[in-house]
Amino acid sequence: MRRASLFLSPGDVADGILQGHLLVAIDVLRASTTICQALVAGARDILPVAEIEEAKRLAESLGQENTLLCGEREGRIIPGFDLGNSPLEYPSEKVKDKTLVMCTTNGTALLARLKGVETVIAGFVNAGAVVRHLGSLKGDMAVFCAGLHGGFSLEDAVCGGTIVAGLESRLARRERVLLSDGALAGKALFQRWGKNLPGLFKVAHHARYLASLGFERDLAFAARMNSLPVVPVYREGRITSLKN
């Protein structure tokens, strides 16, 4: 038997939970999705940071040739940065073999809090790959939603439900997965929205905000379930693809 917990807002992250669990971090719109795209496009690694000034200092210390400064505030590219947080800005021609220093409002802020503890990054685009990876490991799992400004966001909760329900069904024949109340809530939301992600993105708050900025194509991109079968792993301050 193993336990699967889903923490629906970042305020729920507590140090005691971090040790001894397989950790997963989710920010569907858009940090997780963009990280998956960047790695599939050949980025060498991604260094997530919480603050803009910290990102600038880190990028400067790495030298400009192979480093890109990436991120957003209020959904828009940060002035002076090379790339924003749209997955469509991360084709191979721009990011192959580059180190990306990434600073986003909720997603990389959550990762900065998880620094030092190995964490897998998930969105809808790589949910199946993450479930397969977790199913191949032993141990209890804790899934953290980046949420929105410290609170709940519907798309992250649905994605968390996708992961816990996926693990439960993958292990069904060999091991019982005991779901926490948060995981049960996420699973119920997955059952409601999992087959209608475009519909989810019509009602979810941050999705509507991104659409109002003209990022509708990002929503379509983020809704493509299992389109990017990559497992980004955050360890020792760097995100790389599992096979690296």
Contact residues: ligand MLT, CB under 6 A: 27, 29-31, 72, 75, 85, 104-107, 210
Note if the bond before 173 is cis, omega within 30 degrees. no
**Residue (31 or 129) nearer to ligand MLT, CB:** 31
**Residue (10 or 128) nearer to ligand MLT, CB:** 10
Q: Shortest approach of ligand MLT to residue 243 CB, angstroms?
A: 25
Q: Shortest approach of ligand MLT to residue 170 CB, angstroms?
A: 28
**Residue (100 or 167) nearer to ligand MLT, CB:** 100
**What amino acid is encoded at 69 in this protein?**
L
Q: Shortest approach of ligand MLT to residue 106 CB, angstroms?
A: 3
The Cα-based distances of 198 to 193, 221, 232 in angstroms read 9, 10, 24
Which residues are bridge partners to 103 per DSSP?
49, 71
**Residue (107 or 182) nearer to ligand MLT, CB:** 107
**Residue (139 or 214) nearer to ligand MLT, CB:** 214
**What amino acid is encoded at 182 in this protein?**
G
Q: Shortest approach of ligand MLT to residue 91 CB, angstroms?
A: 18
Q: Shortest approach of ligand MLT to residue 27 CB, angstroms?
A: 5
**Residue (83 or 165) nearer to ligand MLT, CB:** 83
Q: Cα 167 to the chain's mean position, in Å?
A: 17
**Residue (168 or 234) nearer to ligand MLT, CB:** 234
Q: Shortest approach of ligand MLT to residue 32 CB, angstroms?
A: 8
Concatenate the DSSP letters of all residues of the chain into one string.
-EEEEEE-SGGG--HHHHTTSEEEEE-IIIIIHHHHHHHHTT-SEEEEES-HHHHHHHHHHH-STTEEEEEEETTEEPTT-SB-S-GGG--HHHHTT-EEEEE-TTHHHHHHHTTTS-EEEE-GGGHHHHHHHHHTS-S-EEEEE--BTTB--HHHHHHHHHHHHHHHHHHTTT--EEE-HHHHHHHHHHHHHTT-HHHHHHHSHHHHHHHHTT-HHHHHHHT-TTSS---EEEETTEEEETT-
Q: Shortest approach of ligand MLT to residue 31 CB, angstroms?
A: 4
